[in-house]
Each structure stands twice: as C-alpha cells, then as structure tokens.
A and B are shown apart, each in its own frame.
Chain A
Amino acid sequence: MAEAASGALRRTLNLGRPDEVYNAIVDAHRDLNDEQCRAFDAGLILLLANHVGDAGVIGEALAAARSSLEGGSR
C-alpha cells in the first residue's frame, strides 16, 4: 500500500521500539479509573499534537481515528 497521496499523516511504522512504546502507553493507564483515563489521554493527545505541530496532519489523524470507530470493537 502506498503512502496516502491525500496527506502527510504517516501510515507506516515510525516507532523505533514499537512494543516498548505501546506497552509504556498502556501501562501508564494501569491504576487510573475511567475519568482519570480520559483526563490522562486528553493531556497526552494535546502534548503529542503540539509536538507534531502540523494542523493538516492532526486533522487527518482526527478523521482516521473517527472512521476507525466504525470498524472497531463491539
């Protein structure tokens, strides 16, 4: 699959140690209740969005995450 021509959101792997990063994110939620999870995720997303900086990329990520809800669980 080619990189999406429409945008700049990276589709292929960009993480050097993917399992380590994935598990660090998951483990950071371990002792949080639902409400704390939401607050934590909001903070995390804002930090990462600021780091990314590009409004176009963030917009694409928002759309992709939204549309993945339909293909996701339940």
Chain B
Amino acid sequence: MTDARITTHPILEFKEGRKVRFTFDGRELDGYEGEPIAAALHAAGVRVLGESPKLKRPRGFFCAIGNCSSCLMTVDGRPNVRVCTEKLREGMCVTTQRGKGVLFAND
C-alpha cells in the first residue's frame, strides 16, 4: 500500500530513515525509522488505532499533531502513547489499547 504512505506533514518532518521492522498486535510490519508510528501503521493499511473511552467506538488518525488523544496506543508496554508523534524504532511492540491503559502490573 505504498499509495497510503504519508510523505509530507504541515508541522512534522518526515525524514525517511532506514527500513525497520516492528509489530502491531503481534503482526510484523515494516516502517521507516523516525517516522511517526501512526504513519507506518497508516501505510500498512491500519485505520483503527484505538477505541473511545466510554462507548468503545473505533478511533483512528484524527489531529495527527499529538493533541487529540484519538491515537493512544500501548508501545513497548507504555500506555497512552500518542503514536501520531512518537517516532518509530526498530523492534517496537505496538498494541491496541483497551480501556485506559495499564501503567504497572501489581502482581
């Protein structure tokens, strides 16, 4: 889906780094190092990034500048990561967040 790749953004820089691998809900995907995680997901055809807090409706790319909380995901175990501004790195583990996110496992 190369046509879905975002190459320009009015605010963020999109430097195309080296190709890296990461996982999304266990699926292996490719992206470019340094691009926002959401851009890599978008290029891979992923449109649903999270769910609304109360009614659990699907939430996708919305503001794309780290403002709206529509794209909160769990990245490498950290909850509430705004993937529209978080830069992609090799081997990242990106998972869809259900609920408010888990800060710390008590047991």
Genuine A/B complex:
no
Which residues of A are at the interface with B, using a C-beta cutoff of 8 A?
A: none
Which residues of B are at the interface with A, using a C-beta cutoff of 8 A?
A: none
